[in-house]
Amino acid sequence: MRPVGRSEGAIIRAEASQDATARVSPLTRRALAPNPGPVTYKGTCSYIVGNGDVAIIDPGPDDPRHIEALLASVSGERLRYVLVTHTHRDHSPAALALKDATGATIAGCAPYAPCDSPSVGGPNLDAAHDLTYAPNIVLGDGDEIAIGDVSLVALATPGHTANHLCFALAEEKALFTGDHVMAWATTVIAPPDGSMSDYLASVERLRGRDDRIYWPGHGEPVRDPPRVLRALIHHRRAREAAILQRLEAGDETIAEIVAQIYEGVDKRLHPAAAMTVLAHLEDLIARGLVDCAGQIVQDHAAFGRNRPNADDVIDSKSLERPSPRALEARFRRRLG
Ligand SMILES: [Zn+2]
């Protein structure tokens, strides 16, 4: 554990309403961003931690309404830090405006690093990520941030994204889980930045802790972490078994597998499901259980071209659409 320096946040004066923010524990307030959607559920949850000296975890999209609401909520207090779990565009972009308005220090995950793939001609961008994110302090696993009398400790939890962090608030045995573990839905794992192998290891990591409650980036809190983690591992293993079964039955492509195992699921969610299947296949290939004819090549360039202009909501289309080349790849169960 390595403590990092304190910042001298300015005292904030704002006139806007504080109605959007609710106190959810003695040390925690929650503000819902106005960006509901299929990936964001009711919107991004930003958390204000501390009293007097405060930090905001996941400031959310660069939406003036949300930024104003956050500033109003911490009016008269000292915003020391803006902390970021990961660089998806529904989590980090408002950090800059809050820093500009208050002098707070931005601390959190590393900036997004585009995957450098020679097969598609160099570095390519995943449009789901916020490229404006510029932390003053990049936190590593175990780093501690002091906010007045309380402190938050960063926990490296790669999987949903390569740079994902959770933040632990020991005083309340609470963990701010970002998009790593949520109560309302399973986490989207979108390769190549997302990795199912890393994700499952990061879930196992949480099983070794004794957190009492999780505050996720979307939706309601997880009040029984051990049960939810067990269910989550079970769900992923069941998905994996279903994929292996489909490969044994003769399916060869992601599209065929999705059509079978997500039959009955809203078709609008099938692109996200295809990403999940791809993530599982990558994990199964790494474990020697599945072969892939040829190479799985992620067409990162497609993500770059589809990069949205609006910052206020995550672009679910670009996040969730697997590349044509990944869809064309042919997979089979390795025998013996
Ligand atoms: Zn995310």
Distance of CA 227 to the CA centre of its chain: 21
- The Å distance, Cα 92 to ligand 1 centre, comes to 10
CA distances for 222 relative to 94, 167, 184, 229, 283, angstroms: 25, 15, 9, 10, 27
Closest CA to 160 of 111, 200, 210: 200
pLDDT number for residue 336: 63
Q: Which residue has the tokens 């070794």?
A: 208
Asked whether residue 292 carries a pLDDT value surpassing 60, the answer given is yes
154-174 pLDDT, tens digit per residue, is: 999 999 999 999 999 999 999
- The Å distance, Cα 73 to ligand 1 centre, comes to 24
- The Å distance, Cα 250 to ligand 1 centre, comes to 33
Asked whether residue 310 carries a pLDDT value surpassing 70, the answer given is no
Closest CA to 91 of 192, 147, 161, 10: 161
- The Å distance, Cα 88 to ligand 1 centre, comes to 5
Tokens representing residue 13 in the block: 């004066």
pLDDT number for residue 300: 40
Pairing of strands 165-169, 174-178: antiparallel
pLDDT number for residue 75: 96
Q: List, in order of start, the domains of the chain with CATH numbers.
A: 2-223 (3.60.15.10), 233-333 (1.10.10)
- The Å distance, Cα 143 to ligand 1 centre, comes to 21
Helix (H) or strand (E) holding 137: strand 137-138
b/e 270-302 (16+ beta carbons within 10 angstroms → b): bbbbbbbbbbbbbbbeeeeebebeeebebbbeb
CB 178 within 8 Å of CB 168: no
Task: Please work out, in degrees rounded to the nearest 5, the angle formed at the alpha carbon of residue 185 by the alpha carbons of 190 and 238.
Answer: 75
pTM equals 0.85
- The Å distance, Cα 36 to ligand 1 centre, comes to 14
Q: Does 192 sit behind a cis peptide bond, omega within 30 degrees of 0 on the bond before it?
A: yes
- The Å distance, Cα 332 to ligand 1 centre, comes to 30
pLDDT number for residue 216: 97
- The Å distance, Cα 336 to ligand 1 centre, comes to 38
Mean pLDDT of 259-285: 89
Q: Count other C-beta atoms under 10 Å from residue 261's C-beta.
A: 19
Separation of first and last alpha carbons in the chain: 45
**294 or 272: which carries more pLDDT confidence?**
272
CB 118 within 8 Å of CB 297: no
Q: How confident is the model at residue 279 (pLDDT cuts 50, 70, 90)?
A: very high
Asked whether residue 248 carries a pLDDT value surpassing 80, the answer given is yes
Q: How confident is the model at residue 306 (pLDDT cuts 50, 70, 90)?
A: very low
**275 or 151: which carries more pLDDT confidence?**
151
- The Å distance, Cα 257 to ligand 1 centre, comes to 25
- The Å distance, Cα 129 to ligand 1 centre, comes to 9
Distance from C-alpha of 182 to C-alpha of 86, rounded to nearest angstrom:
15
User: DSSP string covering 159-195, please?
Assistant: SSSTT-EEEEEGGGTEEEEETTS-SSSPPP--TTTS-
**25 or 271: which carries more pLDDT confidence?**
25
pLDDT number for residue 126: 74
Mean pLDDT of 285-310: 58
Q: How confident is the model at residue 297 (pLDDT cuts 50, 70, 90)?
A: low
- The Å distance, Cα 128 to ligand 1 centre, comes to 8
Asked whether residue 314 carries a pLDDT value surpassing 70, the answer given is no
In the chain, pLDDT over 70 holds for what percent of residues? 80
- The Å distance, Cα 277 to ligand 1 centre, comes to 18
Environment of ion ligand 1 (residues, CB < 5 A): 88, 179
**21 or 61: which carries more pLDDT confidence?**
61
Q: Residue 39 phi/psi, 5° resolution?
A: -95, -25
- The Å distance, Cα 161 to ligand 1 centre, comes to 7
Burial class for 13, CB neighbours closer than 10 Å (0-12, 13-18, 19+) = exposed
- The Å distance, Cα 11 to ligand 1 centre, comes to 31
Distance from C-alpha of 140 to C-alpha of 335, rounded to nearest angstrom:
41
pLDDT number for residue 183: 86
Number of H helices, E strands in the chain: 9, 17
Torsion sign (Cα): 58, 91, 1, 226: positive
Mean pLDDT of 281-285: 93
Asked whether residue 106 carries a pLDDT value surpassing 70, the answer given is yes
69-104 pLDDT, tens digit per residue, is: 999 999 999 999 999 999 999 999 999 999 999 999
